[in-house]
Structure 1
Amino acid sequence: MAFTNLPTDVLRTYLAVIDLESFTKAGRLLGRTQPAVSLQIHKLEELVGSPLLDTSGRGIVLTPEGEVLARHARQLLALNDEIVARLQKREMGGRLRVGLPTDYAVSFFQKSLSSYVRQNPDVEMSIHCDISDRLLAMFAAEELDLAIAMFDDRPKPGLIYSWAEKPIWVAASDFDSERQDTVPIAAHPEGCHYRSRMTHALDQIGRAWRITYSSPGVNGLQQAVQSGLGVTALTRRTLLRGMRILGEKDGFPTLPDIHLGLHFKNTNASTAALMLVNYIMQALHDSGQTGFIRLQKMDGTGPS
């Protein structure tokens, strides 16, 4: 059986066009003319047998096939570049700006990032925690080197790895759902994916609700739930003692999955950023094998 090989230099051109949103800028970065860049993209489309970019309107829009290729091309080049960096014994110093959604600031990724810093003491890391929409805006503005953020519908630019989390309703252990005509909700501020899922799910079944507590951090929500100020949606990894899970028998509908992604631009990435991206992807993969993460399907259908 003959396999099609995708040249890394062509994939690098493809990602440069996407990241810089311009054939001309990509050409300047790579030392090629704009027609040469266009020719490489055409060659790549011929190799994969599908159109990858829609340039019929203003700007550059990825086709569904183009999104799938971009995601896996980022993974392939990140691994390729890390291998070269290790063999060439490149220095690992530098500054990294990482964005985390609020409910992961005290959980899985904080532990992974702390472990990475201990192994690479010459890397200066700063972590910014916020709601996902703001993190993605900062990432797009080049204010973050990589961002872990939630997304709905179509993947966001720079997505290199994605997975799904199942949010669950939780309340204090002594919470009595039958005595609550109006559901008291503890939630992150407006714009949070968990908040919108909770309120939309209750609206769909016609159950009244009100926001009784709002906090940008998961610690505040956890404490509010434990003290009985309200119910909220968390993932199993952020459950604490003194909480119980609520289900349909308690009058709380199943919540749809939350899709999360690691966002990273290969263009002009530092060695430290490449190492961290691969470190996080490996940690996610290992976590998936133990049942905590359901990994992205590899057939191009998106998160599971």
Structure 2
Amino acid sequence: MRKIINFQTDLLRTFVSVVDLGAFTKAGDALGRTQPAISLQIRRLEELVGAPIIKQVGRTLMLTSEGEMLLSYAREILRLNDEVASYFNRATISGVLRVGLPNDYAVAFLQGVITEYTRQHPDISLEIYCGWSVEILERLRADELDLAVAMVNNDRAQFLSRSWIERPIWAAAEDVSFDPSAGIPLAAHPEGCAYRSRMIQALDAAHIRWRVAYTGSGIAGLQNAVVNGLGVSALTRYTMLPGMRALDDSDGFPPLDEIRVGLFYKHPRLSEAGIRLVNHVIARLDETGVSGDPARGHVGLDHQ
């Protein structure tokens, strides 16, 4: 008979809290437990896994390969558990939610998804911060944000819950043609933008001359620059507007490297309103077919 192993949610919650908060003592403070109790729960979880999930390297705690795999499942199990608990808790949810969105992604789409949620829950106040992905993740680490969407450099990024792939599209005005042999005018965000770097990398690799004809941090300005024929840009399917057309190999434009985008949050720091927002965002991403598998996490932890 197959042995059934039950991963208790309280053990998984302790594990995720240690990872997200970066220390045993901080996890204990968040969960109302002592450090020895937290350590005991981690050992119990390791017994269920049948292998260590956290190892000590010098004074730093690191996840083992088994711990990385468990973290991805633990986040999803807790998210679903809290979604069920929230469903049966009919109390009105309220509070302030601080959300970070990147300048260089489909901000309009994500803003629509998030504001849709707040319209359904008028007692929630929304604060949206738009910036570069690096800045957004720094704010999340500093507990200045509750939820963040940002570019992902790898699938082991700290606080990463879900990630998906986007392939940027070369976009130009419908009635304007550009000759790659004569040099390409670019409409781009400032340096540091993942889309800007992909445009330049693709053109350099194809030995196509280029120049930056428009620079602006806002997506609306970038879209207007494209529609008005100032230059071509790399956009997503969400940010293509009427009056634009996509360019590809047949137009002499090389393909752009894909970009991985992630949904980040610290589970133990997230309120019930925040958990519901996470579930709402993931549901909308699933509907559009872009939401990928739960991501694996990998972080260094201070043993305090």
Give TM-score scaled by structure 2 length.
0.88
* Aligned equivalent of 1:296, options 292, 295, 301: 292
Which one-letter code corresponds to 1:217 in the other structure? Answer: G
- The answer for the alignment partner of 1:106 in structure 2 is 108
Which one-letter code corresponds to 1:296 in the other structure? Answer: G
CA shift, 1:65, in A, is 4.2
- The answer for the alignment partner of 1:141 in structure 2 is 142
Which one-letter code corresponds to 1:70 in the other structure? Answer: L
Distance 1:298 1:274 in 2: 15
- The answer for the alignment partner of 1:115 in structure 2 is 116
CA shift, 1:252, in A, is 1.7
Distance 2:22 2:295 in 1: 26
Which one-letter code corresponds to 1:114 in the other structure? Answer: T
CA shift, 1:147, in A, is 0.5
Distance 2:212 2:171 in 1: 15
Structure 2 gap ranges (5+): 298-304
Change over 3 Å in CA distance of 1:216–1:65 after alignment to 2: farther
% same residue:
46
Matched, 1:200 2:201: yes
Matched, 1:60 2:56: no
Superposition pairs of residues 165-180 of structure 1, within 5 angstroms: 165-178=166-179, 180=181
CA shift, 1:242, in A, is 1.8
Give TM-score scaled by structure 1 length.
0.88
Q: Comparing both chains, which one has the higher relative contact order based on Cα–Cα distances under 8 Å and sequence gaps of 6 or more? A: 2
Change over 3 Å in CA distance of 1:49–1:203 after alignment to 2: farther
CA shift, 1:122, in A, is 0.5
Change over 3 Å in CA distance of 1:184–1:59 after alignment to 2: farther
CA shift, 1:5, in A, is 2.1
- The answer for the alignment partner of 2:249 in structure 1 is 248
CA shift, 1:298, in A, is 6.1
In 2, are the aligned partners of 1:72 and 1:160 still within 8 Å (CA)? no
Matched residue SS, 1:113: helix
Which one-letter code corresponds to 2:145 in the other structure? Answer: L
Q: How many residues align?
A: 295
In 2, are the aligned partners of 1:133 and 1:191 still within 8 Å (CA)? no
CA shift, 1:18, in A, is 0.9
Which one-letter code corresponds to 1:243 in the other structure? Answer: M
Matched residue SS, 1:55: strand
- The answer for the alignment partner of 1:158 in structure 2 is 159
Distance 1:186 1:13 in 2: 47
CA shift, 1:116, in A, is 0.8
- The answer for the alignment partner of 2:43 in structure 1 is 42
In 2, are the aligned partners of 1:186 and 1:231 still within 8 Å (CA)? yes
CA shift, 1:267, in A, is 0.6
Q: Deviations over 1:115-158 (max 9, x none)?
A: 21111010111111122111111111111100111112243211
CA shift, 1:182, in A, is 2.0
